[in-house]
Structure formats: structure tokens, C-alpha cells
């Protein structure tokens, strides 16, 4: 399944049916009187969060969603049938934005959540509604109200407990593949990851969700590289895991590049708790490891060491992430999986 996290759609709710102008005509009923029924109500356009989806790919192939109109009223006091609603099914974490792509209409964060995006028009009154002591044979009826037409944007922000950050080739995908059942693409060239990946990791009997996003480079907030469009997928995370490539010549500069992009992105992303990790330590000797860790600690504060390939230090990193995630977000691992991560 292809990954799509932004989609533009056109929606229109159903128009209400018009009221009926009708009179009762039966044998031996000289003054039957009005009996026109009301029009039916137009259908709503509803968005609903469903299980089993993690992409908006369905909205690439269909962008127009129109609810049914209500039927017109009929004689014998018969009300027209209401138009059927149309339901847009989206994954958890979808934001509904107005046409300006800034105004948030709804934030779909819970399974089963439903929001009406466009209400159907009310049906018009039939002439029976206008009968009175002074107007016993009204010949008027109301038209139904028109439906609502809107242009909206759907933006998916994955809901993960921890988010992975780093420059391209910092080892994010290797870490995710080593600690979870996720199978992201891994290669020795930049921008191997082109879309976010999710993985469930377990440590000390607890499970939590990690999101891996494409690597950032300097100027990503200006659109360089893949840009910062995927940072929205870690906005909802409780903690960020910042991986720094230990084989880099200047680990401090690499760290500053990511922090600068987080600050330029705005919001509260730069203020989230972060766990900084010096990755790929298996490629260095003891002296090089000490030098790189000291250089990184001078700018980033406390630093952990890890190798996603050999497994060294991975458990300590997972425990550091787990400590920053609140109890209400953590799930208990099945009994057979409880215990710490094993390389």
C-alpha cells in the first residue's frame, strides 16, 4: 500500500426536498383540504475514524464526495425520503483542514470518532403546514434548503509514542528494524527512507510505538531535500529520539542542524523531551568513541551510545524512551514477549 499523508477533497451535502402542494380528493369529500407533505432532509457528509488504515491513499483516486438529496414531499401527507449520508473513512491522527490549509476543522485522534463536515439541507414544508382558519386552501410550499459545498484538506499525522530524528543515514531505519517487526528499506545512501514507518517495540514488559521519518538536512524548512513535511508525524510523540552518526567528522554540527530545523518548523516540537544518542559506535575504536561522545555532550548534554547493528546500548536507549512516555500511552506486552529487548 502506498503512503499518502495529504489529500484535497471536494464535498457537498444533499439538498432538502421541496414541499408538496396537494389537496385531498375523495368521493363524498367536498372539502378535502390540503394534504401536501414535507420534503425529505438532505444527506450529511460525515468523517469517521476506522481501524486498519494508516494512509490516505484512497483519497488519491476519489476526491469528490456528494451526499444524496432528499426526495420531494407528496400528497396524502407523505414526507419525502431523507437523502443517504456519505461517510469518509480515515485513519487515526487525521486532521481536517479548511481550504486555506491552516484552519483546523476537526482533529480525528480516537477510534470511532465521527464529525459532520457538511449538514444536509432541511426539507421544505408542504402546503398542509400553511393551513389556518383564515387560509384553509393554501397553494404554497417551501423549497428545500440547498446543500453545503466545501473544499477541504486531509492531513495525516501518525500517532506514535516516540519519534526518530536525524540526518540521512544516521541509522534510524536500522534501529527501527532491529527493535521491532517493521521492515523499512535500509541502504548505504542518503534518503533511503522516503515515507514514515511505524514499529512497535517492547522493553521491560511494556510496548510503545516508534515513528521513523525521512532524514532532515540543512534548509529542510525551506524545502531542501524532502523538506520538513514529515515532521508532522512526530508532533504527537511524547519523546523524540535524536540519532547522531558517530562516523561523522563533526557530530556537534550534525546535532545543531537537526535542532535548527526543529526550531524553524515552529510549534512545540523543539521543546519536546529528547533522548540524544551517538549511533554506529561499532564502527569506531575506544579513543574515537570517547572523542565523539565528548564533542556531542558539550553541545547536547547527556548522550547515550548505541549500535543498531550489534545491539550494544539499545536496551538502555529503549528504557530512556520508556521513561519519558506516560503510563496511559504505554501498552503491556504479551506475556511471551515480556522482558527486555534482545539483539
State the Cα–Cα distance between residues 154 and 45, nearest whole angstrom.
Answer: 14
Instruction: Look up the pTM and report it.
Output: 0.74
**H-assigned helices in the chain:** 58-61, 172-179, 251-265, 286-300, 314-323
Report residue 311's pLDDT band, with 50, 70 and 90 as the boundaries: confident
Which of 61-65, 144-148, 167-171 has the least mean pLDDT? 167-171
Closest by CA position to 37, among listed 84, 83, 70: 70
The yes-or-no verdict on residue 287 having pLDDT over 60 is: yes
Q: Which residue has the higher pLDDT, 155 or 337?
A: 155
CATH architecture of 162-337: 3-Layer(aba) Sandwich (3.40)
Closest by CA position to 161, among listed 23, 302, 25, 273: 273
The yes-or-no verdict on residue 187 having pLDDT over 70 is: no
Q: How high is the mean pLDDT of the chain?
A: 84
| Cβ atoms 36, 22 nearer than 8 A | yes
Mean pLDDT of 23-47: 89
Mean pLDDT of 329-333: 66
Check residue 23 and report its DSSP letter.
Answer: B
Q: Residue 308 has what pLDDT?
A: 81
* 136-159 confidence digits (pLDDT tens): 889 999 999 999 999 999 998 877
Q: Residue 20 has what pLDDT?
A: 94
Mean pLDDT of 62-90: 94
* 103-149 confidence digits (pLDDT tens): 999 999 889 999 999 999 999 999 999 999 899 889 999 999 999 99
Which segments are annotated as binding site? 166-173, 191-195, 212-215, 279-282, 307-309
The yes-or-no verdict on residue 339 having pLDDT over 60 is: no
Q: Residue 47 has what pLDDT?
A: 96
Q: Which CATH number fits domain 1-156: 3.40.630.30, 3.30.200.20, 2.130.10.30, 2.70.210.12?
A: 2.70.210.12
Residue 279's Cβ-count burial label (10 Å; 0-12, 13-18, 19+) is buried
Residue 89's Cβ-count burial label (10 Å; 0-12, 13-18, 19+) is middle
Q: Which of 313-334 are b and which e, b meaning 16 or more Cβ less than 10 Å from the residue's Cβ? A: bbbbbbbbbbebbeeeebeebe
Share of residues in the chain with pLDDT > 70 (%):
86
CA distances from 16 to 54, 144, 285 (A): 35, 4, 75
Which segments are annotated as binding site for GTP? 166-173, 191-195, 212-215, 279-282, 307-309
Mean pLDDT of 30-44: 91
Q: Where are the domains of the chain?
A: 1-156, 162-337
Mean pLDDT of 328-332: 68
Which segments are annotated as binding site for Mg(2+)? 173, 193
Report residue 22's pLDDT band, with 50, 70 and 90 as the boundaries: very high
The yes-or-no verdict on residue 190 having pLDDT over 80 is: no
Q: Which residue has the higher pLDDT, 199 or 191?
A: 199
Amino acid at each position: 500500500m502506498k503512503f499518502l499523508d495529504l489529500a484535497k477533497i471536494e464535498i457537498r451535502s444533499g439538498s432538502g426536498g421541496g414541499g408538496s402542494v396537494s389537496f385531498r380528493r375523495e368521493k363524498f369529500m367536498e372539502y378535502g383540504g390540503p394534504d401536501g407533505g414535507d420534503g425529505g432532509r438532505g444527506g450529511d457528509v460525515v468523517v469517521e475514524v476506522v481501524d486498519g488504515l494508516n494512509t490516505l491513499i484512497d483519497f488519491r483516486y476519489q476526491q469528490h464526495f456528494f451526499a444524496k438529496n432528499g426526495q420531494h414531499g407528496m400528497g396524502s401527507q407523505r414526507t419525502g425520503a431523507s437523502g443517504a449520508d456519505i461517510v469518509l473513512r480515515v485513519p487515526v491522527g487525521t486532521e481536517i483542514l479548511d481550504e486555506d490549509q491552516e484552519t483546523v476543522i476537526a482533529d480525528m485522534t480516537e477510534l470511532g470518532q465521527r464529525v459532520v463536515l457538511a449538514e444536509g439541507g432541511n426539507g421544505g414544508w408542504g402546503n398542509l403546514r400553511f393551513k389556518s382558519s383564515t387560509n384553509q386552501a393554501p397553494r404554497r410550499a417551501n423549497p428545500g434548503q440547498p446543500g453545503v459545498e466545501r473544499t477541504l484538506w486531509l492531513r495525516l499525522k501518525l500517532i506514535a509514542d516516540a519519534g526518530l530524528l536525524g540526518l540521512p543515514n544516521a541509522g534510524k531505519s536500522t534501529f527501527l528494524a532491529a527493535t521491532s517487526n517493521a521492515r523499512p528499506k535500509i541502504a548505504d545512501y542518503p534518503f533511503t527512507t522516503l515515507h514514515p514507518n511505524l514499529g512497535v517495540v517492547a522493553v521491560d514488559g511494556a510496548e510503545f510505538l516508534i515513528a521513523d521519518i525521512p532524514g532532515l538536512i540543512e534548509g529542510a524548512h525551506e524545502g531542501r531535500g524532502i523538506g520538513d513535511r514529515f515532521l508532522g508525524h512526530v508532533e504527537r510523540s511524547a519523546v523524540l529520539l535524536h540519532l547522531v552518526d558517530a562516523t561523522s567528522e563533526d557530530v556537534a554540527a550534525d546535532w545543531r542542524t537537526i535542532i535548527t530545523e526543529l526550531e524553524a518548523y515552529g510549534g512545540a516540537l523543539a521543546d519536546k523531551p529528547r533522548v540524544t544518542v551517538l549511533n554506529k559506535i561499532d564502527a569506531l575504536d575506544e579513543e574515537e568513541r570517547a572523542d565523539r561522545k565528548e564533542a556531542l555532550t558539550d553541545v547536547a548534554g547527556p548522550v547515550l551510545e548505541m549500535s543498531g547493528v550489534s545491539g550494544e546500548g539499545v536496551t538502555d536507549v529503549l528504557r530512556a524512551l520508556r521513561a519519558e512516555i506516560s503510563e496511559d500511552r504505554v501498552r503491556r506486552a504479551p506475556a511471551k514477549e515480556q522482558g527486555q529487548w534482545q539483539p
